[in-house]
């Protein structure tokens, strides 16, 4: 299941990138190379269609990302940090508890009468 969602994630990323590059910007971008889009997408041109398609694909991308995150988190039982071994293979020393405080006690406030 996760491999299928991962493949869908890659395809969505590629398609969103292409759709964003096809949209017109102030410098026209790659939209100038798309020729006769006006007849395919209607009289309004590709602007409305591409904006709606970008929003829909972005929504699917976010939902797919959340689903992948949930599935990977629920399948994982250990952390990568659990497998880290110190470089010198030394054991971590146990903490020593002392019954006496290491700092001197604060003196009681003197009362002036």
Name the residue ranges covered by the structural domains of the chain.
2-78
pLDDT score of 51: 83
* Predicted structure pTM score: 0.53
- Through-space distance between the first and last CA atoms of the chain, rounded to whole angstroms: 80
pLDDT category at 62 given cuts 50, 70, 90 is very high
Give the length of the chain: 113
pLDDT score of 14: 95
| Averaged pLDDT for residues 78-92 | 72
């Amino acid at each position: 299941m996760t491999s299928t969602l991962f493949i869908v994630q890659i395809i969505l990323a590629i398609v969103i990138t292409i759709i964003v590059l096809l949209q017109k910007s102030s410098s026209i971008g790659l939209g100038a190379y798309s020729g006769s889009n006006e007849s395919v997408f209607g009289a309004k041109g590709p602007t409305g269609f591409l904006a709606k398609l970008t929003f829909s694909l972005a929504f699917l991308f976010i939902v797919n990302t959340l689903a992948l995150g949930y599935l990977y988190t629920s399948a994982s039982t250990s952390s990568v940090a659990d497998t880290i071994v110190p470089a010198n293979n030394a054991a971590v020393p146990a903490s020593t508890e002392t019954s006496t405080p290491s700092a001197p006690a604060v003196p009681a406030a003197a009362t002036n009468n």
